[in-house]
Structure 1
Amino acid sequence: MTISRPIRIGVQIAPQHARYELIRDVAAELEQMGADILFNWDHFFPLSGERDGLHFESWSMLAALAEQTSSVELGSLVNCNSYRNPNLQADMARTIDHISAKGGVGRFIFGTGAGWFERDYDEYGYEFGTPGTRIAALARDLPIIRDRWTKLNPAPTRQIPILIGGGGEKKTLRIVAEHADIWHSFSDAATLERKLGILAQHGEAVGRDTSEIEVSTEVRTISHEDADDLVGLGATLFTIGLSGPSYDLEKVRDWLAWRDEQNAPRASAE
C-alpha cells in the first residue's frame, strides 16, 4: 500500500536559555507563520550552552501551548518513557489531547523514546540502567499506554498519533513497526534507505504494513537538495531545531517556502 502524504514542517522549540514569555510568543508566531507541528523536548536541564541555564519542563509547557494555540499540532520530541509510569503518561496525553481540541479533535502527538540523558536520571532520582533496559521498558510500556487510552473517561478525541524516536535496527525499529504512527530519526539518504528496509522486515514479522508509518527527520545542516532525496525515499516530516536565548525564525521561513513548493504539485495532482 502506498500512502500519499503532504510534506510537513515541525519546529522544536528547545525550552532552554529563555524566559517562558519568549517561548510563548515564539510559539504564537510559528503558528501564524504556518508551521505544522510545534515540539519541545523532555529534559530537565539544557542540552547545550550553559549547563545550569534557564530550562522548563516539557509536559506542563505542552498543556499551556495546547491552550494557547488553535491549529498547529504539538508534542515532545521526544518524551522520556522512564520519567513517568505508563498509565500516567496515557492520562496526561489524553488530557492535553482534550485541551488542544478547539474544533472537537485534538492536536496532541505522543512523541516518545527510551531516554538517554544521564544527568536527568541522576539529579531527579531515576534509575539510569542501560540502553537495553530502557528500550525494554519502552516496549513493555507502550501497550499499557495504548490500553489505558481505551479505559479513560472521557476517551481521547482521536486515536492519538504515536511518534517514536530512534534508529536502533534490532530493537527500536521493531517497536516502531509495532506501535508507531510516525518514526523519527536523523538519517542521511543512504542510511534512511537501509533502515526503511529493516523497518519493513520488522513490519512483516509483526503483521504491519510499515508504509502506514510517517517518516520524520530533522533538518539540522541538510540542504533543500538533501531533503529532496529524503522525500524521494518517503520522508514527509522535517523538523527544525531552535534554541534560546533568541529563536531565529529565518530558517523556518526558508523551509516553509520549500514545503509549499513541494506540496504544490501534490495539490494540483489531486
Structure 2
Amino acid sequence: MTAIRIGVQLQPQHATYAQIRDAVMRSEEAGVDIVFNWDHFFPLSGEPDGLHYECWTMLGAWAEQTERVDIGALVTCNSYRNPELLADMARTVDHISNGRLILGIGAGWFERDYDEYGYEFGTAGSRIADLGEALPRIKARWAKLNPAPVRDIPILIGGSGPRKTLRLVAEHADVWHAFGDAASLREKSAILTGHAADVGRDDSQVERSIGVQEEPTDVAEGLVDAGATLFTISTGGPEFDLELVQRWVAWRDEENDRRAQQG
C-alpha cells in the first residue's frame, strides 16, 4: 500500500527571500515530504507587481538549504525553457540535492508571463502539443548527460484535460497532480486509467496528487478513497502560515501508521 505524503507549496510572492528561506526551513522541520514553489514571473494574487522570485534559481538554493525533503516546482512552465536546457537544470539541482528533485511540469497558462517575457502564448492546444514534444527530449537529454542524474528523476505533470493532458500523464508521468473534490478526482483518475491501458502501462505506476486547502478531517477520507496519496497545501508570503500543513502532517502519520498495522 502506497504511503501517504504531504507537500507544501510556498508561493514565492509578497515576501523577501529571507522570509521564503525561513519558510523552507520551517516546512522541513514540520515534517513535510516535499516543498514546492511555482514557475511564474509575477504574483498570481494580491498586488500584481508585488515581490516575486524566479523558480529554478530558488530550487538550486533550496537544494543546498534542505537535507531531507524532496523539492520541485508545482509546476514548471514548459514554454519558458528549451527542453534540453531544462533537463540539464533539473539534473544539476538533482545533484545539488543528492537526488531529491521532482520535475513538476505543465503546459503553461499565465498570459502575463508570456507577454512581458517575450514568449509566444499560442493556444491551450499548441502549448499542450509543445509539452508533448518536450517530454521525450527531456528524457533523452538525461540519458546523455555526464554525470547522469542521481536517480530516475520523477516527473510530475499538472493538469486534468481528459483527452490530451491525461494522455501525456499516462505516457510520461510518475505523479499526476490535480485540483478539485473527490468526485472529480475519481472521474479524471478513471480516464487516466483508460489512457494508461491504451499505452500499455500499469496506471498504478502513476501516483495521484491533489492540492488541498481544507482540513484533513473534512476531505482526507474521500480523497484517499478516490486514489490520492500526495496532498499539497499552498501558503503565501509574507507569513507562510504552516498551521494547516502541520495538521495534515499529523493526519499523515496516523494514516500511515494505520496502513502499516494493516500490512
Task: Extract unaligned runs of 5+ from structure 1.
Answer: none
Does the alignment pair 1:30 with 2:27?
yes
Deviation digits for residues 224-258 of structure 1 (CA, Å, limit 9, x no counterpart): 33221111121000000010121111111111111
Tell me how far 1:222 sits from its aligned partner. Answer: 5.6
The runs of 4+ residues in structure 1 deviating greater than 3 Å are: none
Moved more, 197-206 or 87-96: 197-206
Residue number in structure 1 paired with 2:64: 67
Residue number in structure 1 paired with 2:259: 266
> Which residues in structure 2 correspond to 1:47-58 (within 5 Å)?
47-58=44-55
Tell me how far 1:205 sits from its aligned partner. Answer: 1.1
| RMSD value, Cα | 0.9
Tell me how far 1:109 sits from its aligned partner. Answer: 0.1
1:255 and 1:205 mapped to 2: Cα distance?
A: 35
Deviation digits for residues 13-52 of structure 1 (CA, Å, limit 9, x no counterpart): 0000000011111101110111100000000000000010
Deviation digits for residues 106-159 of structure 1 (CA, Å, limit 9, x no counterpart): 000000000000000000000000000000000000000001000000000100
Figure out how many residues of one structure are paired with residues of the other and give that number: 263
> Which residues in structure 2 correspond to 1:92-131 (within 5 Å)?
92-101=89-98, 106-131=99-124
Give the secondary-structure state (helix, strand or coil) at the position aligned to 2:144: coil
Alignment match of 2:5 (pick from 8, 16, 19): 8
Residue number in structure 2 paired with 1:181: 174
TM-score by structure 1 length? Answer: 0.96
Alignment match of 1:225 (pick from 210, 218, 221): 218
Does the alignment pair 1:197 with 2:194?
no
Residue number in structure 1 paired with 2:43: 46
What residue identity is the alignment partner of 1:225?
Answer: D
Tell me how far 1:68 sits from its aligned partner. Answer: 0.6
What residue identity is the alignment partner of 2:51?
Answer: L
1:209 and 1:108 mapped to 2: Cα distance?
A: 24
1:169 and 1:222 mapped to 2: Cα distance?
A: 28
Tell me how far 1:178 sits from its aligned partner. Answer: 0.1
Moved more, 20-29 or 217-226: 217-226
TM-score by structure 2 length? Answer: 0.98
What residue identity is the alignment partner of 1:108?
Answer: L
Deviation digits for residues 60-110 of structure 1 (CA, Å, limit 9, x no counterpart): 000000011010000000000000010000000000000001xxxx00000
Give the secondary-structure state (helix, strand or coil) at the position aligned to 2:119: coil
Moved more, 197-206 or 130-139: 197-206
1:17 and 1:268 mapped to 2: Cα distance?
A: 43
What residue identity is the alignment partner of 1:149?
Answer: W
